[in-house]
Amino acid sequence: MGDATLWFGRRLPVPGPATQPGKPALVAHHQQWRCQRCQQVVPPGDELPEHVPYCRQCLNLGRLTAHTKLYTITEPNRFSRVVDGGLTWQGHLSDHQQRAAQELLQRVRHQESQLLWAVTGAGKTEIVYPALAWALAQGWRVAWASPRVDVCLELAPRLARDFAAIPQAVLYGGQPVPYAYRQLTICTTHQLLRFEHAFDLVIVDEVDAFPLAMNPLLLGAIDRAQKPQGCRLLLTATPDRQLQRLVAHHQLAVTYLPLRYHGYLLPPLTVQLAWRWREQLTRGKLPAALMRRVRRYHHQQQCFLLFVPHVADLAPVVQVLRRLGLTDGTTVHAQDPDRQAKVQRMRDGDLTYLVTTTILERGVTFPNVMVLILGGDDPVFSTAALVQIAGRVGRHRDHPRGDVVSYCQSQTLTVRRAQRMIVQLNRRGRQLGGRP
């Protein structure tokens, strides 16, 4: 079997003949089959040509059939103890951040699961550092997971810099570096399907984001990856109704932080009516108010993000912008093979704008950017998505303000709820001394 550490706390197919040790990957379940990696029932007809059932639900992690066996070695926590959990971060937390960080730390010490509900730009990552450092100092194995690859790729270098003494593994689909046994694992939530009772602490970043929210397969993956005596820390700026219900019924401990790290409030979401904007787009035009605004940004050399509802909207929108003379921008979406490179070019100042789908609604930070949303009343933009999109603005202490403008055919309930959520968060922020 080679390196035994590859099986520590993991549930993996065993190579070789069926006589190898392990447990069946698919087991009989009410005249059907259930996959033991993702716990999903195999529908009738999901068979190989030899009539061998296989699991389609987690096929992207490797094929499991009724002839496959899964093998695991119980997690031994075979790590050297590191003073202060390897924390090398030299920054400082504000008083509000410090209070939140201490609440998280005390609950982790007592292995109590919890939620950190903090506005976008509050500094959630750094607030978690004291609890993470304590867990690592105890020899705990920790997973920091997110539904979004972008979040993992932005988080990994920060954790490598701020916990320099702790080797880490970074896991996502198509990763260039092979898996290695590490005390700290940064991964997409899909990758947790490979683990079984591996982690003493599971940190789930952007817990409300697609595709995790309300997904039984991925929620189950978190449950199985966490040790029975372990705990989890959920991070979000926009908890869904189920999480809010758990908090309201005192079934989940919560720490609130309604103020950004630099002390400024969230930029409000402004709505401008743009009647039949899609018909205009088919004629090669954008709403007049939007065109005036992007021209002004262009003259001011101001960076901006322009969100559109669908991938099909990207090309016609960027064509209009380029005809207006805005040639130093491009498009980006989830399946774009150059997505990471384009985001980095935007950070480096090589691009002044990106026309994007909701893929950039969270997990990315630009120091000074304005946000425009075309078709903000489209069903693809949920209330949480709109709040997260608004949160791309004003994240840097040197640029704490900015524009968030949604161009809509009508002001839907979803848009009004997003505006209301920002107003409510800012009301709490003012009570803590937040600045407009």
Domain count for the chain: 3
- Would 76 be classed as within a structural domain? no
Residue type, 195: F
Distance between CA atoms of residues 377 and 48, nearest Å: 44
Q: What is residue 52's predicted lDDT score, i.e. its pLDDT?
A: 92
Query: Which residue range(s) make up the domain with 247?
Result: 83-257
Are 263 and 269 a contacting pair, CB within 8 Å? no
Q: What is residue 418's predicted lDDT score, i.e. its pLDDT?
A: 95
At 26, phi and psi to the nearest 5?
A: -120, 130
The stretches of 237-287 forming alpha helices (DSSP H) are 241-248, 277-282
- Would 299 be classed as within a structural domain? yes
Tokens 């609130």, residue? 256
- Would 265 be classed as within a structural domain? no
- Same domain for 228 and 115? yes
Q: Which of 363, 362, 345 is nearest to 354 (CA)?
A: 345
- Same domain for 205 and 136? yes
Q: What is residue 18's predicted lDDT score, i.e. its pLDDT?
A: 58
* Domain-terminating residue out of 71, 93, 124: 71
Q: Which helix (H) or strand (E) holds 81?
A: none
- Same domain for 108 and 169? yes
Residue type, 277: W
- Same domain for 185 and 67? no
Q: What is residue 20's predicted lDDT score, i.e. its pLDDT?
A: 67
Q: What is residue 91's predicted lDDT score, i.e. its pLDDT?
A: 93
Specify burial of residue 132 (Cβ count, 10 A radius: 0-12, 13-18, 19+).
Answer: buried
pLDDT in tens, the chain (436 residues): 568 999 999 999 986 655 667 889 999 878 889 999 999 999 988 999 888 999 999 998 999 999 999 999 999 999 998 999 999 999 999 999 999 999 999 999 999 999 999 999 899 999 999 999 999 999 999 999 998 888 898 899 999 999 999 999 999 988 889 999 999 999 999 999 999 999 999 999 988 876 676 688 888 999 999 999 999 999 999 988 888 899 999 999 999 999 998 999 999 999 999 999 999 999 999 999 999 999 999 999 999 999 999 999 999 999 999 999 999 999 999 999 999 899 999 999 999 999 999 999 987 889 999 999 999 999 999 999 999 999 999 999 999 999 999 999 998 999 999 999 999 999 999 998 989 8
Residue 155, token pair as written in the block: 């988080």
For residue 130, the Cα-to-chain-centroid distance in whole angstroms is 21
- Would 77 be classed as within a structural domain? no
The strand pair at 142-146 and 168-171 is best described as unpaired
Q: What is residue 364's predicted lDDT score, i.e. its pLDDT?
A: 85
Q: What is residue 183's predicted lDDT score, i.e. its pLDDT?
A: 98
